[in-house]
Amino acid sequence: MKDIIDFIKNNKIGDYKENALMSTYTTYKVGGKAKILVFPKDVEKLILLLKELKENSINYKVIGNGSNLIFSDNEYNGVLIKLDNFNSLEIDDTKITVGASYSLIKLSNKACFLGLTGLEFAAGIPGTVGGSIYMNAGAYNSDMGYIVREVSVLNPKCEIETLYNKDLDFHYRSSFFQKNKDYIVIGAVIVLKKGDKQLIKEIMEDRKQRRLSSQPLEYPSAGSVFRNPEGNFAGKLIEDCGLKGYKLGGARISQKHANFVINEDNATAEDIRNLILLARDKVKEKYNIELKIEQEFVNW
C-alpha cells in the first residue's frame, strides 16, 4: 500500500487517511479499519486514481455516507474512496444540478425553502444524492426514479458519460447501478415542480413527527433492513415471528419498528449481521417469504 500512498501524494489526488475506522464512516457505527480512505479533489483526480487502482489490481470501493453499508469487523485490504468534494449545487428554476456527495436531507430542505415540490419524501433519508440514486431510495410512495432526469457517471473505462432516466432501470429500491457496479455516480440533474412552500413545509414536518414516533432515530442504524415484499410489510412479518425487541450481542431489533436493527450497546458488525440473517431466516421458515436485504454487506 506504500506505493499507492506515494501515488496519492505525488499526484495530489486529495486528502487521505490510513487505517480509517469504518465505525466512523457508517451510520451503524460498526466496522473494522480500511487500509486507505481517500477523498479525491475533483473528477480528474478521481479518474487518475481509479486508473492506477485498476492497473495494479488493487481492491477499491466508492462509498457515500455509509447509511446502507455494513462493513465487517475485519480490515478492508484496499482503498475506499469518498466523494465528499463532489458537493456542487446549481439551481435553475425547477432544475437542480447536484454533485454525488450532496446530502439528500439538505437538498430536500433547500427545495422546500425555494417552494419546489417532489423531494418531500427524502427529508428523512440520511444518504447522499449518489447513494440514493444507487439504491433508488424512497418513502411515502415516491423515490429518486420519479425526479432524476439524468446522471453523470464514470463508466468502466473511466470516461465521463451521461445516462438518462430511461437508461437507469429504476424500480422499487433498485437501479441500473446495483447491477453495474463499475459505474460511479458523480452528479445528477433532478427536476422538481413549483409548489406551495407552506404546504411543502407542513408535509415535511408531519412526516418528521411520524418518523420520530415510529422509528428508533435515537440509535445508530441504517434505516429499513428489508424491502417490503409485495402486498406485505417486512416489519409486520418480523414482529409476527416474535422478534420485535429481540437482542443479539449489542444489536437489537427495534421495539419501535421491527424492520430496524439498532446498535444499542456497542454492537459488533457480526452482531448486526447475525441478527439480520436470523430475522430473514425466521420469516422464511414461518411464512416461506424470502425477505430481500436492502443493506449491503462489505468485506465479509
Query: Which of 52, 150, 264, 294 is flagged as catalytic?
Result: 294
Question: Is residue 173 among the annotated active site residues?
Answer: yes
Residue 197: name the closest of 123, 122, 112 by CA: 112
Annotated catalytic residue, options 72, 224, 252, 264: 224
Q: How far apart are CA 229 and CA 23, in angstroms?
A: 30
**Secondary structure letter of residue 158 according to DSSP:** S
| Alpha helices (H) in 186-254, listed in sequence order | 197-214, 234-240
- Kindly state the cell numbers that stand for 177: 447501478
* Strand ranges for 28-173 from DSSP E: 33-40, 60-63, 69-71, 76-82, 89-92, 95-99, 116-117, 138-139, 142-143, 148-154, 160-164
Please identify which residue in the block is written with the cell numbers 406551495: 196
Instruction: Answer yes or no: 270 catalytic.
Output: no
Q: Find the catalytic residue in 75, 142, 173, 207.
A: 173
Is 210 designated active site? Answer: no
- β-strand partners of 189: 97, 150
- As annotated, the active-site residues are 173, 224, 294
